[in-house]
Each structure stands twice: as C-alpha cells, then as structure tokens.
C-alpha cells in the first residue's frame, strides 16, 4: 500500500519536473510543476467526443489502459513492503497486464480508421515487442540469481555484495531506464512535444481521444513513468528500513525525472528506422546481465 | 534575331520582342537551354492577345548576365507539342498555361490543375476533385495530410503512397491560397496599392517581392534610384535572409526534437526582425521599400545599432551552430536524408538553396546583380550532396556571408540624398522583367504596359514554383517520419506559389 501511495504521489510531480528541466535548459520560465496534473483535472471535466466511424472498442480502450496501469502499480513493492498484489511470478503478470493495456490502446487507435493512427499503432506495437525480451531476460536473470520469482522477494534478497553484482545493478538500471523511455514514448525514441503526425508514435495514437478519455490516458502516462521510477528505486533498497527507503524512493524518482529532462533537452530524436536496432541493444545488455548472474552463481567451471 | 537579349530590370518596347511561329519558338528555347549549361528558364507564360494567346519565354543566361526574351502567338483551340517533353523544367509552366487558356498540349505528362484561378479556362474543374495519382495494391497504403495544417503554416494537401514506413510517391496539391494577386495588380491603379500588394505576395519574402516590384516599376518609369535607396534595398534583402534562415534552422531543430537549437535559433531571429521594427515600424519590413522614395531613411544611429546587434547575434549564432553541426544525433537525422541529386535539380530547374545544395550554380546576386550587389562581388556558396544537411549547412554559411555584406554596406551611409519625386508614368507599350534573389531563391516579376502606359499584364513567379516538385522527388524512398524535416529544409511558400 505504501508503494502504491508513493507512486501516486511521485506521478503528480514527475512529468512536471521533466517539463521544468526542459524549460530551464532552453532559457524559458516554463509552466509550474503541477501543470500536467492541472491539465488532467481540466480534461476530466470535459465530455469526450466520439467520431461516427469508431465503435465501442474506441470508447472502452482508455478505461482498460488506465486500469491496466493501476493494476501494474499495485504489484510494485517498496523494499521490504510487498505491493498490494504479490505472488510468485508476479513480474510476468506485471509485464502482461501492461501488455493488455497497450493492446487496447492499439486497437482503439486502429478503430478510428485514421491512416496516422494506424502508423502510430504499428510503430508502438513494434517497439514494445522489441523491448519485451529485454525485460524478461533481466527479471529472469534476477530470479535465477535470487531463487525467487516475485518482485518483492527478488529485490529484497538481492545483495550487492561482490563487485560483479554492482555492475549488474548499474546495467539493470540502464535497461530499466531505457525500457521506461520506450514504453512511455519519450525521447530519443519518440518526441512527445512534436506537432507532426507523421513522426509521432504514442501521441498520434491518441489524436482522436478527447475530454475524459484523454485525461485518463494522460494520467496513465504520468503514472507509468513513476511506476518505472519505482522499479529502479527498488533495485537499490534491498531490505533497508522504511525511514531510508522512502527518501531513496523519492530521491531516485527525482533524479530519474531530471535525467529524462536533460536527455530530452540536448539530443535529437532518433531516426525512426534506428529505433528497433537501438531497442534490441537493450536485449543484449540484458543478456550481459544474465551472463553476470551465471558468473556469480559459479555456473562456469 | 529570333530573340532579344535584355539585362535585369531593363525596359524594352513590346514590339522589339520577336514573334515566332510555335515550332520555331519551341526549338529555339529548348536548344538555347540545351547548349548552354548556365541557362535556365526564369519565366514562361501567356498573355491574352486579342482572341489568341501570346506566349512569352524568358531564358536567363547566367554567364552573359542577360535574359533572352522570345514570344509566339498561338490559337487556344489548336493542339501543340510541349516544351516539357524535352525539358521537364517547363512542366508546371505549361500546366499553368493550359489551365489559364485551355491550350491543348499533345505530349504533356499530365496536365493537372495548378491553382484553380477564378478566370480559369475550364470552370468545371474544382479544387475538390483534383486528379490524384494512385496505385492499386494490397501492400501499399495512402496517407493524406492537409489541407488544414496541424501547426500554424499554410494550407496544402500532401498525399503519400507508402510501403510501410517508406515513401514511394508524394503528390503535393496546392492552390488553396489563390487570391488573384496578378489580376489585382492590374485592377488597383495606385502605386501604393500595388506596392502593398507586392508586400503581401508572400509574408516571409516581403523584401524580396517588394524589391522586385519596385525595381521593375522604376525601370518602367525610367527612374534611376539613388545610392541610399539601393543601399536600403540590399540591406533589407540581406536582413530578411538572416532572419528567415535563422528561423528556419530553429524549425529544423524542432522537427528533429533538438530543443536547445530550437530555442536558441528561435531567440536569435527576434533581434533581427525587431531591427526592421525599429527601422520602418514593421517586423516583416512592410512599408520600407517604395518606388522612387523611402519613407524610412537609414540613419547613422540605426547603422550603429545594427552593428552592435550583429556582433551580439554572431557570437551566439556561431556557438549554437558549432553545437548543432557537431551533434551526432542531429547529424544522423540530417545526413543522407531527402537527397535531390544534381541531375534532378537541373531537370526540374530548382532555384535558390534548393539548387545550390546540389552544386547547381543559381544565384541572381551573382549572375544578374542588381542594386548594390554589383559592388559586393558576390561569391557563390555551394554544397554537393543535396540532402537536409547541405540545406542546413548552406543556410548557416549564407547567414555568415550576409553578416559580412551588411558590415561592408553600412560602413558608409549616404545621407538621405533622394528627394521624393513624382515618378513619371510608365513608358507605353513596353515590357520589363525584374529578377531578385530573395532568401528562397530567384523571384521574377514581369510586366507589360499598354497604349497609355497603363499596366495590362503582370506576372509573378515565386521560387517555390520551381522547387515544390524538388521536394516531392527528394522524399522518395525516405521514411515518412522524415518528411517534416525534408519539408522544413526546403521551406517553400504556399501563398507565393498560389498567388
């Protein structure tokens, strides 16, 4: 429960901090930290408008997407404290409950019949597909290392004792940060600020959503970011007491948001056909982690 | 002689333009383009002539700094062979002639409408049923963009035929911005009205189009502008070049999502256009250039202000350009994207940066200098690859060059020497042509006067008229997600094309 509340709390500030960093680096004053939340509240007050070409799929998709993200957040632990849902193999459940949300997002976009949204949907599906192996190799390696298969047990029993495990921690952070950027359609994979339908990935999929539905999607996006931040924070908590884990959690969320902001300020977006290549690199980094785990376990003789 | 050679801004009697029969006219112009590499067509259009049409073809010879004018009288109903068959650069000119006068061409690739003018020959053709090219295929898909733009720019419809993410074909349909400017030039009788019209041909080329109109008008009235007038015109052209190129670099950074470049170039554009505001009360330089006079003489204080401003501009500009052109992620997006080969550029007759990026030597400042460009001894800047990077890089170098020119120009400010004089009325029965290198490329204005010196025909050609097809070819086989950056790097005008 603690982790759930903390993630909700972090999500309020996360996107605001990213935007603020971007505005400071470009010499602008920029909107307040709470602007993304205010936008969501404004959208919640509005009625969605549905085009005649769409069916019920388009109407239920935002709700299911939002629900899937909430479910996934419930699984995330905080150090010793379990998430609201916790069982053996919950990381598989985590990945596929997000998958369901994404699936509905994609068919919702296809349902509009717009050629832009079709392109966006196919890009999103492709990129998530490439990101999936990276996540499973990473979590699978940790499961192998710790002999556990739920998030909470894996994270608490991971001890960064030897130098190799520190290396593993750094590599895992890199993989998780990159997966978070892919899954949230951030730079350098996708430009969330662009007005160009032809270059968008996520944004183009929600072009036809409006009012309450769009509010749900924006809120889910904010939550997802904080969720991945929480996952990264868990790597470093181990079995520390609560008065240490909460500052660690908030600190890592803050650093994550700032680094995303800096990354988005000083680089250009990748060319679209470079994206799959780059995302596949994540899988190979995950394989390195797997190799490291085998080393730690002494499987090589 | 089957043509008459004039220099830029020269007024000649209409009767001195030789009138050929159509086959000879065709052969001569095609041959003169084929035989001399430095020749290109600057304008080709028709004038209603009693019940027939008088076609006028203007071929600029860059080596001799001359423009060869020839003409042919044709009947509208008869079929004719096209120039386009032998030289694709004429493709759009002939579409326009066909649209306006209903001349039937026998071997034109596709006589599509250009801009649906109000007085078009076939009024049954409407903008809503434009004949698009299409391919029947299970694998390919069509993406239509526009005419309403998602951002703030003008309307135009782009239809892509794609194989997945790859563009196979792009067709650009324009004409939504047509305002009948050429017709208005004849209807509006006052000089001020006409100058205002020229300023509003394309809002981003105010100086370019107004200088073209003003030079043409002064030549027709047999008026020689003083040095102070020439200076302010040259200065306005170069300042406009700096301002628009800077804004364009900013927009290109936005399109590749490079926020720092977008913010810094965007900020740098402001002091330049604000200088116009200080000088003439309008940030786009409207009202600055007038035939036979200037309402806003350039003072020494203004020049001093400009020097300080340019010093501050240059420091930041060089710093951010150093960053941008060394940033791997930006170069990865720029290089080898949207390539227009030299051969394609030559065939299409592209102008301005869209020609120089492919090592095609097209620059009016160099080949047909006017105003103070005669003294500046302009050196051509060329790139070879014809990609987005070449276009961005050329913009950067042209800005550097413009800054140097401005510094030279404002070293000595002539006093407000020009007294406001009443211009004589234009010479009757004459023809004038004015070429100006605007920031986008060569602008061509041509006018014909009647018995009493009244304007009977006015023809405007914006550089975009040549270059739109260049964009359509450059994006082929590129990814559709790279289209915005290609489009932005060409930076073409919708209203300049649509008139």
Is residue B7 very low, low, confident or very high in pLDDT (cuts 50, 70, 90)? confident
Is residue B151 very low, low, confident or very high in pLDDT (cuts 50, 70, 90)? low
* Separation between Cα atoms, residue A126 and residue B276, nearest integer Å: 50
SS3 sequence of A102-140? HHHHHHHHHHCCCHHHHHHHHHHHHHHHHHHHHHHHHHH
B387 touches chain A (CB under 8 A): no
Residue B357 has pLDDT above 60, yes or no: yes
Domain count, chain A: 1
Give the pLDDT mean for A86-103.
91
* Chain B residue with the nearest C-alpha to that of A271: B333
- Mode of pairing for the β-strands spanning B66-74 and B19-20: parallel
Give the pLDDT mean for B447-466.
89
Nearest CB to B327: which of A196, A268, A274?
Answer: A268
Cβ distance of A198 and B255 shorter than 8 Å: no
A196 touches chain B (CB under 8 A): yes
| Contacts with B268 from chain A: Cβ below 8 Å | none
Nearest CB to B259: which of A118, A199, A264?
Answer: A264
Give the pLDDT mean for B263-279.
92
Give the pLDDT mean for B260-269.
91
**A190, A271, A274, A276: which to substitute to probe chain B, counting the most B Cβ within 10 Å?**
A271
Question: What is the dihedral sign for C-alpha B162, B165, B171, B174?
Answer: positive
Give the pLDDT mean for B407-416.
82
Sheet holding B11-13, edge to edge: B11-13, B430-437, B442-449, B455-461
B214 touches chain A (CB under 8 A): no
* Chain A residue with the nearest C-alpha to that of B150: A195
**A23, A116, A185, A198: which to substitute to probe chain B, counting the most B Cβ within 10 Å?**
A198
Using CB atoms within 10 A of its CB, is residue A119 exposed (0-12), middle (13-18) or buried (19+)? buried
A199 touches chain B (CB under 8 A): yes
Give the pLDDT mean for B255-281.
91
| Contacts with A115 from chain B: Cβ below 8 Å | 141-144
Place of tokens 């950027």: A181
| Contacts with A268 from chain B: Cβ below 8 Å | 253, 256-258, 327, 329-330, 332-333
B484 touches chain A (CB under 8 A): yes
Cβ distance of A198 and B165 shorter than 8 Å: no
At B168, list the tokens.
Answer: 């196979």
A119 touches chain B (CB under 8 A): yes
Is residue B416 very low, low, confident or very high in pLDDT (cuts 50, 70, 90)? low
Among residues B305, B285, B112, B123, the alpha carbon closest in space to that of B207 is found at: B285
pLDDT at B52: 87
3-state secondary structure of B61: strand
A285 touches chain B (CB under 8 A): no
**A191, A262, A268: which to substitute to probe chain B, counting the most B Cβ within 10 Å?**
A268
A22 touches chain B (CB under 8 A): yes
pLDDT at A162: 67
- Mode of pairing for the β-strands spanning B104-105 and B79-80: parallel
**A196, A200, A202, A263: which to substitute to probe chain B, counting the most B Cβ within 10 Å?**
A196
A23 touches chain B (CB under 8 A): no
Residue B198 has pLDDT above 80, yes or no: yes
Q: How far is CA A201 from CA A128, A195, A196, A272, B459, in A?
A: 11, 12, 10, 10, 44
B351 touches chain A (CB under 8 A): no
* Separation between Cα atoms, residue B207 and residue B213, nearest integer Å: 10
SS3 sequence of B183-195? HHHHHCCCHHHHH
Residue B300 has pLDDT above 80, yes or no: yes
pLDDT at A44: 94
pLDDT at A60: 93
Is residue A169 very low, low, confident or very high in pLDDT (cuts 50, 70, 90)? confident
* Chain A residue with the nearest C-alpha to that of B484: A196
Torsion angle in degrees (nearest 10) through CA of A50, A55, A57, A60: 40
Cβ distance of B481 and A187 shorter than 8 Å: no
pLDDT at A160: 64
Burial annotation A4-28 (CB, 10 A radius, 16+ → b, else e): bebbeebbbbbbbbbbbbbbebbee
- Mode of pairing for the β-strands spanning B430-437 and B11-13: antiparallel
Rounded to a whole number, what is the distance in Å from the CA of A228 to chain B's nearest CA?
23
Nearest CB to B260: which of A115, A119, A265?
Answer: A265
Residue B1 has pLDDT above 60, yes or no: no
Residue B133 has pLDDT above 70, yes or no: yes
Residues belonging to chain A: 301
Give the pLDDT mean for A237-264.
88
3-state secondary structure of B144: strand
Give the pLDDT mean for B366-394.
89
Domain assignment present for A21? yes
Place of tokens 């413009």: B402
**pLDDT tens for each residue of A195-237:** 777 878 888 888 888 889 999 999 998 999 899 999 888 888 8
Residue B418 has pLDDT above 70, yes or no: no
Which element (helix H / strand E) includes B104?
strand B104-105
Q: Which residues are registered as beta bridge partners of B67?
A: B6, B60
* Chain B residue with the nearest C-alpha to that of A201: B481
Residues B387, B389, B391: CA angle, nearest 5 degrees:
75
Say how far residue A25 (Cα) sits from the centre of its chain: 24
Long-range own/partner contacts, residues B451-459 (CB < 8 A, 24 or more apart)? B452/B425, B452/B428, B453/B425, B453/B426, B453/B427, B453/B428, B454/B189, B454/B426, B455/B185, B455/B186, B455/B426, B456/B47, B456/B186, B457/B47, B457/B186, B458/B182, B458/B185, B458/B186, B459/B43, B459/B45, B459/B182
Write the DSSP string, B261-299.
Answer: HHHHHHHHHHHHHHHHHHHHS-TT-TTT-BTTB-SSPPP
Q: Which residues contact B234 (CB under 8 A, 6 or more apart)?
A: B371, B372, B373, B376, B405, B409
- The DSSP letter of residue B178 is -
Question: What is the dihedral sign for C-alpha B203, B208, B214, B217?
Answer: negative
Those of residues 128-147 in A touching chain B at CB distance below 8 A are none
* Separation between Cα atoms, residue A253 and residue A246, nearest integer Å: 11
Place of tokens 């901090």: A17
Give the pLDDT mean for B272-287.
91
Give the pLDDT mean for B310-315.
93
Cβ distance of A115 and B144 shorter than 8 Å: yes
Give the pLDDT mean for A114-126.
87
Enter the ipTM.
0.85
At B99, list the tokens.
Answer: 């649209």
| Contacts with A267 from chain B: Cβ below 8 Å | 258, 327, 329
B333 touches chain A (CB under 8 A): yes
| Contacts with A195 from chain B: Cβ below 8 Å | 150-151
pLDDT above 70 coverage of chain A, percent = 98
Helix A115-146 / helix A163-183 crossing angle, nearest 10 deg: 160
Cβ distance of B257 and A191 shorter than 8 Å: yes
Asked whether the beta carbons of B174 and B115 are under 8 A apart, the reply is yes
Residue B292 has pLDDT above 70, yes or no: yes
**pLDDT tens for each residue of B203-242:** 889 999 999 999 999 998 888 888 888 889 999 999 999 9
* Structural domain boundaries, residue A9: 2-296
- The pLDDT mean for chain B works out to 88
Give the pLDDT mean for B262-288.
91
Rounded to a whole number, what is the distance in Å from the CA of A26 to chain B's nearest CA?
6
Domain assignment present for A301? no
At B423, list the tokens.
Answer: 């211009």
- The DSSP letter of residue B162 is E
* Separation between Cα atoms, residue A60 and residue A217, nearest integer Å: 12
A52 touches chain B (CB under 8 A): no
Nearest CB to B330: which of A191, A193, A268?
Answer: A268
Is residue B128 very low, low, confident or very high in pLDDT (cuts 50, 70, 90)? confident
| DSSP E strands, B385-441 | 430-437
* Chain A residue with the nearest C-alpha to that of B481: A199
| Contacts with A273 from chain B: Cβ below 8 Å | 165, 479
Cβ distance of B332 and A115 shorter than 8 Å: no
B322 touches chain A (CB under 8 A): no
Could you give the domains of chain B?
A: 4-114 (3.30.460.80), 181-467 (1.10.645.10)
**pLDDT tens for each residue of A49-73:** 998 889 999 999 999 999 999 999 9
pLDDT at A42: 94
At A73, list the tokens.
Answer: 């957040």
pLDDT at A161: 63
Give the pLDDT mean for A64-90.
90
Is residue A257 very low, low, confident or very high in pLDDT (cuts 50, 70, 90)? very high
Cβ distance of B263 and A28 shorter than 8 Å: yes
CB neighbours (10 Å) of residue A284? 11
SS3 sequence of chain A? CHHHHHHHHHHHHHHHHHHHHHHHHCCCCCCCCCHHHHHHHHHHCCCCCCCCCCCHHHHHHHHHHHHHHHHHHHHCCECCECCCCCCCCHHHHHHHHHHHHHHHHHHHHHHCCCHHHHHHHHHHHHHHHHHHHHHHHHHHHHHHHHCCCCHHHHHHHCCCCCHHHHHHHHHHHHHHHHHHHHHCCCCCCCCCCCCCHHHCCHHHHCCCCCHHHHHHHHHHHHHHHHHHHHHHHHHCCCCCCHHHHHHHHHHHHHHHHHHHHHHHHHCCCCCHHHHHHHHHHHHHHHHHHHHHHHHHCCCCC
Domain assignment present for A64? yes
pLDDT at B150: 63
Residue A168 has pLDDT above 90, yes or no: no
A124 touches chain B (CB under 8 A): no
Burial annotation B471-496 (CB, 10 A radius, 16+ → b, else e): bbbbbeebbbbbbbbbbbbbbbbbbb
Domain assignment present for A223? yes
Question: What is the dihedral sign for C-alpha B121, B122, B123, B129?
Answer: negative
Rounded to a whole number, what is the distance in Å from the CA of B488 to chain A's nearest CA?
12
Which element (helix H / strand E) includes B213?
helix B206-220
**pLDDT tens for each residue of A5-44:** 999 999 999 999 999 999 999 888 888 899 999 999 999 9
| Contacts with A197 from chain B: Cβ below 8 Å | 145, 150
| Contacts with B262 from chain A: Cβ below 8 Å | 26
- The DSSP letter of residue B476 is T
pLDDT above 90 coverage of chain A, percent = 37
Give the pLDDT mean for B446-460.
89
Residue A265 has pLDDT above 80, yes or no: yes
More confident site: A115 or A88: A88
């Amino acid at each position: 429960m603690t982790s759930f509340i903390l993630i909700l709390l972090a999500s309020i500030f996360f996107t605001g901090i990213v935007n603020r960093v971007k505005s400071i680096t470009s010499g602008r004053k920029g909107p307040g930290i709470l602007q993304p939340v205010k936008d969501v509240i404004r959208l919640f007050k509005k009625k969605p408008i549905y085009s005649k070409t769409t069916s019920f799929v388009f109407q239920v998709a935002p709700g299911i997407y939002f629900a899937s993200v909430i479910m996934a957040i419930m699984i995330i632990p905080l150090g010793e404290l379990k998430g609201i849902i916790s069982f053996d193999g919950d990381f598989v459940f985590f990945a596929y409950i997000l998958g369901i949300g994404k699936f509905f997002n994609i068919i919702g976009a296809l349902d509009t019949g717009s050629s832009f949204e079709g392109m966006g949907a196919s890009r999103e599906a492709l990129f998530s597909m490439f990101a999936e192996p990276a996540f499973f190799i990473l979590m699978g390696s940790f499961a192998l290392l710790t002999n556990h298969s739920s998030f909470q047990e894996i994270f608490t029993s991971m001890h960064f004792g030897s130098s190799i495990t520190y290396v593993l921690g750094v590599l895992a952070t890199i993989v998780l940060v990159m997966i978070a950027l892919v899954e949230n359609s951030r730079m350098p994979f996708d430009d969330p600020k662009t007005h160009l339908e032809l270059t968008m990935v996520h944004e183009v999929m929600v072009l036809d959503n409006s009012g309450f539905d769009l509010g749900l999607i924006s809120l889910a996006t904010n939550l997802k970011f904080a969720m991945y931040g929480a996952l990264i924070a868990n790597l470093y908590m181990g079995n520390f007491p609560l008065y240490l884990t909460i500052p660690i959690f908030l600190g890592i969320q803050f650093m994550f948001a700032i680094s995303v902001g800096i990354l988005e300020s000083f680089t250009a977006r990748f060319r679209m056909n470079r994206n799959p290549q780059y995302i596949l690199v994540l899988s190979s980094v995950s394989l390195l982690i797997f190799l490291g785990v085998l080393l730690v376990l002494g499987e090589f003789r | 002689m089957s043509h008459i050679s004039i220099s830029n801004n020269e007024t000649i009697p209409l009767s001195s333009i030789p009138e050929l029969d159509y086959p000879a006219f065709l052969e001569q112009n095609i041959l003169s383009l084929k035989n001399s590499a430095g020749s290109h067509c600057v304008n080709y259009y028709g004038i209603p002539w009693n019940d027939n049409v008088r076609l006028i073809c203007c071929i600029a010879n860059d080596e001799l700094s001359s423009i060869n004018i020839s003409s042919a009288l044709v009947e509208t109903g008869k079929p004719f062979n096209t120039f386009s068959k032998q030289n694709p650069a004429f493709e759009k000119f002939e579409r326009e002639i066909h649209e306006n006068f209903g001349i039937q061409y026998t071997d034109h690739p596709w006589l599509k409408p250009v801009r649906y003018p109000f007085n078009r020959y076939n009024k049954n053709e409407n903008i809503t049923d434009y004949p698009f090219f299409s391919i029947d295929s299970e694998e390919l898909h069509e993406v239509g963009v526009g005419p309403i733009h998602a951002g703030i720019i003008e309307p135009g419809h782009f239809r892509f035929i794609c194989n997945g993410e790859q563009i196979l074909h792009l067709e650009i349909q324009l004409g939504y911005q047509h305002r009948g400017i050429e017709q208005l030039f004849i209807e509006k009788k006052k000089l001020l009205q006409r100058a205002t019209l020229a300023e509003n041909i394309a809002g981003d080329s105010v100086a370019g189009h107004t200088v073209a109109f003003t030079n043409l008008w002064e030549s027709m009235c047999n008026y020689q502008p003083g040095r102070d007038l020439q200076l302010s015109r040259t200065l306005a052209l170069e300042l406009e070049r700096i301002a628009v190129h800077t804004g364009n670099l900013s927009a290109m950074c936005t399109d590749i999502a490079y926020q720092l470049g977008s913010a810094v170039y965007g900020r740098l554009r402001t002091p330049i256009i604000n200088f116009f505001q200080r000088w003439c009360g309008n940030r786009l330089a409207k009202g600055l250039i007038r035939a036979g006079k200037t309402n806003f003489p350039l003072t020494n204080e203004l020049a001093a202000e400009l020097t300080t401003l340019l010093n501050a501009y240059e420091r930041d500009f060089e710093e951010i350009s150093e960053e941008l052109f060394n940033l791997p992620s930006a170069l990865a997006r720029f290089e080898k994207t949207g390539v227009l080969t030299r051969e394609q550029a030559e065939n299409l007759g592209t102008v301005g940066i869209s020609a120089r990026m492919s090592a095609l030597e097209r620059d009016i400042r160099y080949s047909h200098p006017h105003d103070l460009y005669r003294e500046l001894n302009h050196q051509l800047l060329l790139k070879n690859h014809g990609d987005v990077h070449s276009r961005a890089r050329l913009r950067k170098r042209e800005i550097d060059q413009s800054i140097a020119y401005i510094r030279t120009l404002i070293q000595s400010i002539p006093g407000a020497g020009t007294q406001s004089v009443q211009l004589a009325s234009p010479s009757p029965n004459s023809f004038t042509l004015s070429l100006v290198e605007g920031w986008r490329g060569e602008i061509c204005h041509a006018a014909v006067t009647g018995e009493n010196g009244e304007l009977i025909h006015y023809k405007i050609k914006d550089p975009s008229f040549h270059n739109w097809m260049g964009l359509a070819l450059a994006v082929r086989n590129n990814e559709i997600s790279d289209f915005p950056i290609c489009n932005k790097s060409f930076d073409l005008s919708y209203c300049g094309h649509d008139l």
